[in-house]
Structure 1
Amino acid sequence: MPPIADHLHRYALVNELHARPATKVVPPGVAVFLAVKPDTGAAKRDRDKDRAHLLALLDRHGAGHPAPEATHHSADIGRHHLKWESHTEFVTYTAFEQGLPKRPFDPASFDVFAEDWLEQAPGARLTSILFQIETMPEDRAEMTAKLQDWFVPESLAAACVLDGTAVIASDFRIDRAGHIRMAVFVKPGTGGRRVGRILQRLCEIETYKTISMLGLLRARSLSSQMGGLDDQLTQLSRAMNTPGTGSDETLEALLRISSELENMMVESAFRFAATGAYEALVHQRIEVLREERFEGRQSLREFMTRRYDPAMRTVKSTEARLTRLAERAMRAGQLLRSRVDVERSAQNQRLLESMDRRADMQLRLQHTVEGLSVVAISYYAVNLVAYLALPVTEPLGLSKPWTMAALVPVVVLGVWAMVRAIRRKFE
């Protein structure tokens, strides 16, 4: 080997490309498929419980255990070959058995999973499938007769796949035993790995189709809530244009609506994103089958176009509507903030005008006080100056009253000049 260190995850990344290999299936035979998903959602799935449930099944038949971190495992349990896979939201079990039962789609084929073991499953059944795998007869009329007998004609989808290698058919309905029925007629000489890949693709189509429909349930549950919030947003928008409407009450109502919308978006974000991913996988798995029309029947693609795609469009439209509502709430909040800013500006303007009036009144009062101060100071100043001037004026024949009378204009003018100088200095 070259003298260079490998990346820490090099082998894990390469091995991921070869994970979940298809099982070799030789017709005729039957296969049963079970997908289990917790009702609480992917975020609360307990992988340890899923592994313990798998080990309980393996221990019943004395089969070996997978590696601790394995995401897929294959083992022989009695006359069945078991394939287990762990996915993000669910786990799947597929059991293959050689030979055909006495009657097609016999519910007894599902007995490979014991009832007490099923009761202990860490979740609920997402979907289950019964496969009838037969060799393709030379007479197509024989296949057509079987399909008419096994499936509901109105919902039946059938197609030749992989360049005529096999004919697949299903009505995607749940039968009386609680399972989806799927038939696979394989052309003689087809390799077992190719047959296994066909079954694997059909299991993936049914599982991804079913789990993506959970998004439709979420969309329907949100529709009524969004309708009420839409009406409330419309009323709030109209109220903002009505004079006299309190901004505080409007803001409180808008915050409540925005909070509800945000919670709805957070709670549905994972489900809607997963629905989009699973929808893409469903169409990709159908694409790789390279379908061709069989006896004028609708293909799986046509079935999905008519029955499945409208549900997915509903999910997408609900998600888009929820986003638009959140954007409307945001724009309404911006408008309300602008309205509040204008109201506050008007209040501030009125406050400034009031402050100006008070300042003008204070200035006038100050001028009045200054005048009174000049009079008071002058009164005392005249008396002080008179005491200094009387010794000089009395020998000259001026009496005290005349001396004080002569001093009043001079003292008042001097005091007024002093006060004015002090005010100018501060200004």
Structure 2
Amino acid sequence: MKFHSEREALTLELHDRPFRPMAAPLRVSHLAIATGERGGERDHAQFAALCRRYGKAEPAAGAKHFTVDLGPFTVKWERHTEFSTYTLLREEPVGQPFDETVFALVPAEWRDGLYGEVMVALHLTVTADGGDPPNSDGADGNRLSRWFAGNPVFGCALADGSARLYGDLRTHDDGFERLLLRAAGFEPVLLGQLVQRVLELVTYARFAMLSLPIARAASPRLEGIERGLAEVAGTLADAGRGESDEALLDRLSGHSAELEDVVAASNYRYGASTAYAEIVDNRLRDLQPAALDGHINLVGYLMRRLSPAMRTCASVAARQEALSRRANRLSSLLRTGIEVRLEAQNRDLLESMNRRSAQALALQRTVEGLSVVAVSYYAIGLVKVVLEGLAKADRLGEVSPTVATALAVPLVVAAIWLGMRRLTHRVLEKPKAE
């Protein structure tokens, strides 16, 4: 049997990025860093440096994910198309959910030298109790409010009510967001799966929103391009316009170039955001979040801005596509008009050339008649000289040279006219194909 060359790679792809077993209670710090599509090598070297610092094995060249226990904490690194994630976790008893963090254990010099731009920075605390936190704690007030710095907190039940997730999705003083997951009775593999899906939900939602600023910046430019194209269309529709085709073409080319610049700056981003939004939808279906009494629902909290943002991006992308088609139609109309005018100019030029050719032919025939007269005059002079010579030699008998010359005039003129006509026909005759 002959196996496909990509069979093994595709088989391994099915087992790529496995869920890491986890046991509650534990603390998690999660980073998603935008390093660009070409930042994979620097990102790989950066993570390898962290492994070497603790004397641990490094990821193989070209690896896209790697998990290693560094001692104080375990870190899972994943390389995606345009960003990388670091998930640091430490299984330990949890008192106050966010008083201590795993990220605080990372060496400061490595942390400060991180390559790329941080898009997601999140602390997730997982506790082994599955019940609701008390609504109040004596003089301390509401615990949830205190843990999330008084911000509005969403809450939802996950995995058919077996776990409960709380958070505010707001940046706190340390630059991190906070999530609290209460999960009791989960097997390590299932808990690892649940934690990873929660982290992916937040990460992909944030990267999906990345296209919103681009769409907002593109809208005023698209409005200007749309007005410019409308002006060009109005000028084209005006039969008595005073603007030249060259000026119109320059204006249309300028608007088309600006439109292409807008499309080039945003087209990839819109496609990526659409893909990320689809992953968010998949993660929400996997987590099956259900509303909890007295708390904002996660779906409503997250999709309240994500859905309008995606609709805005889709609307701007559709507007760009419509303007591109409109610019192409205007360009075709302008080119068609220019071609029609060029054809009219060429027709006029050919007619002028035909008139000039007819005039040249008439002039040529006039010159040809004058040439017959002139050549005949000189030929008759030669005939007269010959006849006078013959007369002096007594070769003409009683015939007078003058009479003989007069009789020869019609013959000479006719011969010369026939000769000139044959010569003209030979010159004008089309060459025969070989």
Q: TM-score range by the shorter chain?
A: 0.7 to 0.9
Report deviation, 1:369.
Answer: 0.6
Aligned to 1:84: 77
Conserved? CA contact 1:386–1:407, under 8 Å = no
Aligned to 1:158: 155
Q: Residues 349 and 8 of structure 1: is their aligned pair in 2 closer, same or farther, counting only changes over 3 Å?
A: closer
Structure 1 Cα separation of the partners of residues 224 and 348 of structure 2: 40
Greater shift, 120-129 or 299-308, is seen at 299-308
Aligned to 2:47: 54
Report deviation, 1:53.
Answer: 1.9
Please tell me whether residue 70 in structure 1 is matched to residue 63 in structure 2.
Answer: yes
Structure 2 Cα separation of the partners of residues 249 and 293 of structure 1: 62
Report deviation, 1:310.
Answer: 0.8
Q: Residues 143 and 354 of structure 1: is their aligned pair in 2 closer, same or farther, counting only changes over 3 Å?
A: farther
Identical-residue share of aligned pairs (%): 33
Q: How large is the RMSD of aligned CA atoms in angstroms?
A: 2.8
Unaligned runs of 5+ in 1: none
Structure 2 Cα separation of the partners of residues 17 and 69 of structure 1: 17
Aligned to 1:121: 114
The alignment's TM-score, normalised by the length of structure 2, stands at 0.86
Structure 2 Cα separation of the partners of residues 60 and 349 of structure 1: 82
Unaligned runs of 5+ in 2: 430-434
Structure 1 Cα separation of the partners of residues 8 and 419 of structure 2: 98
Q: How many residues align?
A: 418
Conserved? CA contact 2:384–2:402, under 8 Å = no
Greater shift, 413-422 or 286-295, is seen at 413-422
Structure 2 Cα separation of the partners of residues 61 and 49 of structure 1: 19
Aligned to 1:174: 171
Structure 2 Cα separation of the partners of residues 354 and 5 of structure 1: 74
1:136-194 deviation line (CA, Å, top 9, x unaligned): 454565499543444488853321111111011222111222111111111x3221222
Superposed counterparts of 1:207-226, under 5 Å: 207-226=203-222
Q: Residues 105 and 304 of structure 1: is their aligned pair in 2 closer, same or farther, counting only changes over 3 Å?
A: same
Aligned to 2:373: 375
Q: Residues 355 and 33 of structure 1: is their aligned pair in 2 closer, same or farther, counting only changes over 3 Å?
A: same
Report deviation, 1:49.
Answer: 2.3
Report deviation, 1:388.
Answer: 4.6
Q: Residues 152 and 190 of structure 1: is their aligned pair in 2 closer, same or farther, counting only changes over 3 Å?
A: same
Q: Residues 113 and 154 of structure 1: is their aligned pair in 2 closer, same or farther, counting only changes over 3 Å?
A: closer
The alignment's TM-score, normalised by the length of structure 1, stands at 0.88
Conserved? CA contact 2:17–2:65, under 8 Å = yes
Aligned to 2:15: 18
Tell me the secondary structure at the aligned position of residue 175 of structure 2: coil
Aligned to 1:130: 123
Structure 1 Cα separation of the partners of residues 136 and 202 of structure 2: 22
Conserved? CA contact 1:216–1:314, under 8 Å = yes
Conserved? CA contact 2:101–2:123, under 8 Å = no
Tell me the secondary structure at the aligned position of residue 70 of structure 1: coil
Tell me the secondary structure at the aligned position of residue 169 of structure 2: strand
Aligned to 1:247: 245
Q: Residues 255 and 143 of structure 1: is their aligned pair in 2 closer, same or farther, counting only changes over 3 Å?
A: farther
Please tell me whether residue 197 in structure 1 is matched to residue 190 in structure 2.
Answer: no
Superposed counterparts of 1:132-151, under 5 Å: 132-138=125-131, 142=135, 145-151=142-148
Report deviation, 1:87.
Answer: 1.6
Q: Residues 138 and 349 of structure 1: is their aligned pair in 2 closer, same or farther, counting only changes over 3 Å?
A: closer
Please tell me whether residue 33 in structure 1 is matched to residue 30 in structure 2.
Answer: yes
Structure 1 Cα separation of the partners of residues 399 and 59 of structure 2: 136
Structure 2 Cα separation of the partners of residues 387 and 129 of structure 1: 125
Q: Residues 139 and 112 of structure 1: is their aligned pair in 2 closer, same or farther, counting only changes over 3 Å?
A: closer
Q: Residues 63 and 406 of structure 1: is their aligned pair in 2 closer, same or farther, counting only changes over 3 Å?
A: closer
Report deviation, 1:376.
Answer: 0.7
Conserved? CA contact 2:130–2:164, under 8 Å = no
Structure 2 Cα separation of the partners of residues 5 and 376 of structure 1: 96
Q: Residues 423 and 148 of structure 1: is their aligned pair in 2 closer, same or farther, counting only changes over 3 Å?
A: same
